[in-house]
Amino acid sequence: MSFASEFREFAIKGNVTDLAVGVIIGAAFGKIVSSLVEDVVMPVIGTLMGGLDISGLAVKIGSATLKYGKFLQTCLDFLIIAWAIFLIVKLINRLKRDEEKPAPAAAPAAPPRQEVLLEEIRDLLKKS
Report yes or no on 108 lying in a domain. Answer: no
Q: What is the mean pLDDT of the chain?
A: 82
Answer whether residue 43 is part of any domain: yes
pLDDT digits (tens, 9 = 90+) for 17-71: 778 888 888 888 888 877 887 788 778 877 887 777 777 888 999 999 888 888 8
- The answer to whether residue 89 is domain-embedded is yes
52 occurs within a structural domain: yes
Question: Of 74, 71, 47, which Cα lies nearest the Cα of 57?
Answer: 71
Judge whether 50 lies within some domain.
yes
Q: Residue 112 falls within a domain, yes or no?
A: no
Q: Cα(34)–Cα(98) distance, rounded to whole angstroms?
A: 33
pLDDT of 82-126, one tens digit each? 887 788 889 888 888 877 777 677 777 888 888 888 898 999 899
Q: Which domain holds residue 95?
A: 3-103
- 59 neighbors 68 (Cβ within 8 angstroms): yes
φ and ψ of 64, to 5 deg: -95, 145
Considering the domain boundaries, does residue 110 fall inside one? no
Confirm whether 114 is domain-assigned: no
Q: pLDDT at position 72, please?
A: 85
Query: How high is the pLDDT of residue 103?
Result: 67
Choice between 14 and 109, residue whose per-residue pLDDT is larger:
109
Q: Is 74 left (phi over 0), alpha (psi -120 to 50) or beta?
A: alpha
Give the CATH number for residue 29.
1.10.1200.120
**What was the pLDDT predicted at 69?**
85
pLDDT of residue 14: 63
Regarding pTM above 0.85, the answer is: no
The total domain count for the chain is 1
